[in-house]
Structure 1
């Protein structure tokens, strides 16, 4: 990469880190460290919430998802506006008015300490794994750029972020997030402009080609439990996921707990309700545009350069045969694409689709061969955007994009680690081990907890990058836990619910999700949220009512 790109990356990261540390000077209380003394304005909280979601996973995994699968993934967010409105009138007033540090403190006030601890533990486990996935995303970029081993890339991203997070607090993270949003959105718009400029055919003709492959299909109204992204899974499963994520996940709750009032907390959530779907659609469109760019330009057979090198070295005959097939398929697809663009018609589009299918068959064979040669999963969706940015963007653009990826990753990781440390200190250390001590003592413990969770996340990161699309990986991690956690908070709003019902319901919900996840692996992960929440609420309410009747008898 050109030295000018490196200057852009270094300068931007220095600005973010220095400004973040400047804002933490004088922070000596745990309320200031964990909740910014509850004084953040609504727009900063809203941008922070969105920036946390627009992490490097989004910039890498979602764009790669758009390139390979099209716009269907946007259905995942159809439940977001519904969830935000519901949270604004339910959990937000409850939690903000309770003046708690974590969402799980409220569960002890409503039920008992064991329900609080188990729910908080599930959050720690799910968010710790998700933090590892967030570290994996920029590590994939560095691995693709330099051919470095993924573990070293994880350390390069993770260690500085841990140091920054240990020294900083949620206020520094939130204001850094505001900067991230400006840079990220600017980088995305610049990427769109470059892609449209580089297409050799008019944009409407290019989109017709993408439509022929199904990449512009947004809505899937089929009701299928095995299909991950449909309209119904987005509306139903997505609503449950978003309710749990924004209403019960400490990494998000901690944001609006830091807002100045309940009304400002509501306003911060509505910002995501209005802007998240259009922004997510823009990111997926970038992926589709990258697919169209490679339709008219040579594309790598394997986007992961490391696996490409391993296959070339260990199975040269197989590699040569696949490379020959790939070159022929590329040429056939490009010719069909130009003919279809020049002479619109159903037949020409059908020919293009057939040529595209032939190329994708070669790619699948190459990925399978790379998996055998390397002994690793060879799914390379996370490498598509990094390769495009580094190989094809004008001087300076690659630096801006890489700065956005790294800075967004560091900001998101910092937010995750800060929330993990908050839950660890408040829900476990302070609750069960040392109830009373100085703020300085709890700050020290919080910083130690941050470092330990950082190490845990880096271990997870070394495995997450090989599991496929990173945006799907993080959603699978979350969906395993989120529905059951949401079920407990729904029970908390029912007067009849008891502590026994909540605790037993939570165990039943997690057992049900595990049974569906491992027993019916073809069921889409979004439905795990529904099954977990329904089982927790049903079992908990049944035991609560039954227990009360037994006590009266």
Structure 2
């Protein structure tokens, strides 16, 4: 909600190329991985790895997921605190605490059912907020959207497709198709955050339709928010901002009348709380089923696992809030969505490789899978640390 307009503000519509890969990745997951999940009664995505390679691999991949989700979603929580801090004057730290505590209340009380239903309501607010912002830009920008499009076109900001084969450029057609496709195969095929939602569908066919349909919808969704970013660029005359996530937040708080400000701030919170609540629930269920239940001899006892999961809900909420507070001094430069996707990309390749081996090959054993994941994650992390300028995040 806040980050994508910032991407277009500082760049072009090129981010949209990633969504082409997102759609392809969803189609592959729907055809390849979802049937494997629905063939067995699984409590987490990583249960499939246990059936093939044993409990050790299941725990290892679960641990990788939990660390990645903690880092990525703490960044999102930080970004969401910005408009609340601007609006109330509380400071980002207090705003992080308020959002985190508000989210954990309904996640703790309702579990995955509450998460799914609240997500549906929040999605409506999220999209309504974008449409309200578009109308506001039309009213507040001299010449309205006609001037926005003319100015953006003259500045080259309407460019969508960049066909160069350049590893140092994040948003090209090939980075979008390959990087976006593999990223989505990993996030929607191996990440408990998404898999837990897909497994709540009525049956395999319903799950496949929901997954592929979301891929079509996400193209339009990102286009809307990228266009909002271009509108903000025209409104502010290309003014420089310290953080990309700050631009839309400032527009909401400083330029809109109170009623519209409240509506868009609700959209901001809806977007963040939707992601945060799903993450907390996924982290809690993964901890309960993949670590706690085997350790205490409670496998198959869903009642005990549910009680433990509620405790882990509070634990993970606290860790996410703490990590967001730690991120505060580093929240400059790239937008939160870019940082979150880059962090996830460090481990998603290794996770995806393990799942594809489990589905398509019987030659690998537990040791080789873990060694391969460690080697892959280590290599990508080294690229991120030492060659970030030469290799943009979608390429790894």
In the TM superposition, residue 438 of structure 1 has moved relative to its aligned partner by 5.0
Q: 1:472 aligns with which of 325, 338, 358?
A: 338
**Structure 1 unmatched ranges of 5 or more:** 1-58, 296-355, 368-378, 529-553
Question: Do residues 382 (structure 1) and 245 (structure 2) align?
Answer: yes
Residue 352 (structure 2) aligned to one of 486, 508, 511: 486
The CA distance in 2 between the partners of 1:268 and 1:430, in whole Å, is: 31
For residues 204-240 of structure 1, what are the alpha-carbon distances to aligned partners after superposition, in whole Å with 9 as ceiling and x for unaligned? 4431211222321211111111111111111011111
2:148–2:230 CA contact under 8 A, matched in 1: no
Q: Please say if residues 101 and 257 of structure 1, whose CA atoms lie closer than 8 Å, have aligned partners that are also in contact.
A: no
**For residues 464 and 285 of structure 1, do their structure 2 counterparts lie closer, same or farther at Cα, with a shift above 3 Å needed?**
farther
Q: Which residue of 1 aligns with 2:395?
A: 527
On the 8 A contact 1:66/1:284 being kept in 2, the answer is: yes
Instruction: Report the alpha carbon displacement of residue 134 of structure 1 after superposing the two structures with TM.
Output: 2.4
TM-score by length of 2: 0.94
Pick the aligned partner of 2:363 from 462, 486, 496.
496
Partner SS, residue 274 of structure 1 = helix
Distance across 2 between alignment mates of 1:223 and 1:436: 49
Question: Is 1:175 equivalent to 2:117 in the alignment?
Answer: yes
- 8 Å contact kept, 1:161–1:414: yes
Deviations along 1:138-168, whole A, 9 cap, x unmatched?
2111122233221111111112212221112
**Aligned match of 1:404:** 267
CA–CA separation in structure 2 for the residues paired with 1:429 and 1:256 = 23
Matched ranges for 1:19-58 at <5 A: none
C-alpha distance in 1, partners of 2:160/2:24?
A: 19
CA contact 1:70–1:287 (8 Å) conserved in 2: no
The gaps in structure 2 that reach 5 residues or longer are none
Alignment of 1:283 with 2:225, yes or no, is yes
CA spacing shift, 1:383–1:398, aligned 2, 3 Å:
same
- 2:81 paired with 1:139: yes
- Distance of 2:231 and 2:364 partners within structure 1: 51
Distance 1:175 1:147 in 2: 31
Residues 386-414 of structure 1: CA deviation (Å, up to 9, x unaligned): 11112222341111111111233222211
Question: What pairs up with 1:77-476 in 2 under 5 angstroms?
Answer: 77-201=19-143, 203-295=145-237, 363=240, 379-436=242-299, 438-465=301-328, 466-467=331-332, 468-476=334-342
Shift in Å, 1:202: 5.7
Partner of 1:27: none
- Alpha-carbon distance between aligned partners in 2 of 1:420 and 1:515, rounded to the nearest angstrom: 26
Displacement, 1:421? Answer: 0.5
Name the TM-score, length of structure 1 as normaliser. 0.68
| 1:91-138 per-position Cα deviation (integer Å, ceiling 9, x unaligned) | 001012211011111101011222111111000000111221222122
- Answer yes or no: is the 8 Å Cα contact 2:107–2:114 preserved in 1: no
User: Contact 2:298 / 2:304 at 8 angstroms: preserved in 1?
Assistant: no
- Offset at residue 287 of structure 1 (A): 0.8
Q: Counterpart in 2 of 1:372? A: none
Q: CA deviation at 1:293?
A: 1.6
Change in Cα spacing, 1:194 to 1:503, as seen in structure 2 (3 Å) is: same
CA distance 1:177–1:202, change in 2 (3 Å): closer
Cα distance in 1 for partners of 2:217, 2:280 equals 26
Contact 1:464 1:473 in 2 (8 A): no
What's the CA shift string for 1:524-552, capped at 9, x where partnerless? Answer: 11122xxxxxxxxxxxxxxxxxxxxxxxx
User: Aligned partners of 1:204, 1:141: CA distance in 2, in Å?
Assistant: 28
2:380 matched residue in structure 1:
513
* Residues in 2 aligned to 1:81 and 1:406: alpha-carbon distance in whole angstroms: 26
d(CA) in 2 for partners of 1:160 and 1:394? 25
Q: Is the 8 A contact 2:148 2:234 kept in 1?
A: yes
Structure 1 residue matching 2:2: 3-state secondary structure: helix
Q: Max radius of gyration: which structure? A: 1
**CA distance in structure 2 between the partners assigned to 1:218 and 1:436 by the alignment:** 50
Higher relative contact order (CA 8 A, sep 6+): 2
How far off its partner does 1:432 sit?
2.8
CA contact (8 A) 1:481 1:510 kept: yes
CA contact 2:86–2:253 (8 Å) conserved in 1 = no
CA contact (8 A) 2:7 2:335 kept: yes
Q: SS state of the match for residue 39, structure 2?
A: helix
